[in-house]
């Protein structure tokens, strides 16, 4: 039997047949494995990605496994398309039990989006910020928001100057965006009354599409790691399926039903970097995100009342 994240996450017996989940970036890699696992657990899964054919194939796989899936095509680089994705989701459901902010990218070359924001920060942080804002009204009291961060967040400092490209470094930009994911999760949890918000490090997955926009040397190095046998990798390399375990755990496990604002790795609570627990920095990044998106969040966003549970 191939690796199944729900088994590694200890939730293979959980029934999600009355749940609806959106997994961004779920046409390949960790996101695909997460979507397939939630589908096998019975959830209605909204599959998201940029490639229509691949997305429909993932949706078909979920349907074939006994689940139900719908594909949504969207690029998350621009805020307008993130809002459009949220509009499409709202047109298909009045309830979203699980939101998995998984889509991410690493860019070796710096550039600004049409919104005037450094592209890595726009895709990896502002897209989840906007999408969560727009969809939170669909999330019930027992709903869950899961955001994928990375251990690379420990590399980042507290500099969030994301409207200029001076001295751009791809890995530093990625680390900054992943730190923003942790800070966003903590601040979101403080503002929520009901749904939970957690984030995680999924693992190191060389085969992930995350590296598709990296420089040629980076892609070559990652390619070498992909081909390493297990006994040489030292156990630090994950497959998309094993990396998806923590996402599935946070989305489905009753063990974390009442846990919020925390950082996980290997389905285990971990301590993030010290600056990731700085409430003042979290508030600053939140305010910056509102300024860059033109959004304003209430202290306790309204959400759908839980019924029939």
Q: List pLDDT tens digits, range 38-58.
A: 999 999 999 999 999 999 999
Q: What is the phi/psi pair of residue 44, to 5°?
A: -80, 120
Please enumerate in sequence order all residues whose Cβ is within 8 A of that of 10, keeping only pairs 6 or more positions apart, or say none.
249, 253, 267
CA distance 309 to 264: 27
Span of 64-68, 82-86, 268-272, 288-292 with lowest mean pLDDT: 64-68
The answer to whether position 46 is within a domain reads yes
Please indicate, yes or no, if residue 304 is contained in any of the structural domains.
no
State whether residue 163 is helix, strand or coil: coil
- 38 assigned to some structural domain: yes
| Residue 23 counted as domain residue | yes
Torsion from C-alpha of 51, 178, 298, 261, nearest 10 degrees = 110
The stretch 118-147 carries a mean pLDDT of 98
Residues in the chain: 309
User: What's the structural domain count of the chain?
Assistant: 1
Beta carbons of 199 and 260 less than 8 angstroms apart: no
Which pLDDT band, with edges at 50, 70 and 90, does 282 fall under? very high
Mean of the pLDDT values across residues 73-87?
97
Q: Is the pTM of this model over 0.95?
A: no
pLDDT band at 210 (very low <50, low <70, confident <90, very high): low
H helix count then E strand count, the chain? 12, 8
> Which pair of tokens denotes residue 261?
């604002």
Task: Give the C-alpha separation, 273 to 284, whole Å.
Answer: 17
Q: Kindly report the average pLDDT of the chain as a whole number.
A: 89
What CATH number did the domain enclosing 217 receive?
A: 3.40.50.720
Q: Is residue 302 part of a domain?
A: no
174 is catalytic: yes
44 in a structural domain: yes
pLDDT for position 267: 98
pLDDT digits (tens, 9 = 90+) for 228-265: 444 333 455 679 999 999 999 999 999 999 999 999 99
Is 214 domain-assigned? yes
Dist CA 239 CA 33 (whole Å): 10
65: in domain: yes
Which domain, by its residues, includes 250? Answer: 5-292
User: Does the pLDDT at position 218 exceed 50?
Assistant: no
């Amino acid at each position: 039997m191939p690796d199944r994240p729900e088994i590694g996450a200890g939730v293979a017996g959980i029934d999600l047949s009355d749940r609806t989940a959106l997994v961004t970036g779920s046409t390949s890699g960790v996101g695909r494995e997460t979507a397939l696992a939630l589908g096998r657990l019975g959830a209605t899964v909204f599959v998201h990605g940029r490639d229509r054919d691949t997305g429909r194939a993932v949706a078909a796989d979920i349907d074939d496994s006994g689940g139900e899936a719908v594909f949504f095509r969207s690029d998350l680089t621009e805020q307008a398309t993130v809002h459009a994705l949220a509009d499409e989701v709202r047109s298909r459901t009045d309830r979203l039990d699980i939101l998995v902010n998984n889509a991410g990218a690493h860019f070796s070359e710096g550039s600004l989006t049409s919104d005037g924001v450094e592209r890595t920060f726009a895709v990896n942080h502002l897209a989840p910020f906007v999408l969560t804002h727009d969809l939170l009204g669909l999330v019930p009291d027992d709903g869950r928001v899961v955001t994928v961060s990375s251990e690379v967040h420990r590399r980042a400092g507290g500099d969030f100057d994301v409207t200029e490209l001076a001295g751009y470094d791809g890995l530093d930009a990625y680390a900054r965006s992943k730190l923003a994911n942790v800070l966003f999760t903590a601040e979101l949890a403080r503002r929520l009354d009901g749904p939970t918000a957690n984030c995680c490090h999924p693992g190191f997955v060389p085969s992930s599409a995350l590296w598709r926009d990296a420089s040629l040397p980076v892609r070559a190095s990652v390619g070498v790691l992909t081909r390493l046998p297990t006994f040489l990798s030292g156990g630090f390399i994950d497959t998309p399926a094993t990396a998806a375990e923590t996402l599935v755990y946070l989305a489905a496990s009753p063990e974390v039903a009442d846990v919020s604002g925390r950082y996980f790795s290997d389905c285990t609570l971990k301590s993030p970097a010290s600056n990731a627990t700085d409430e003042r920095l979290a508030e600053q990044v939140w305010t910056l995100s509102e300024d860059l998106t033109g959004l304003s969040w209430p202290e306790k966003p309204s959400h759908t009342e839980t019924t029939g549970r």
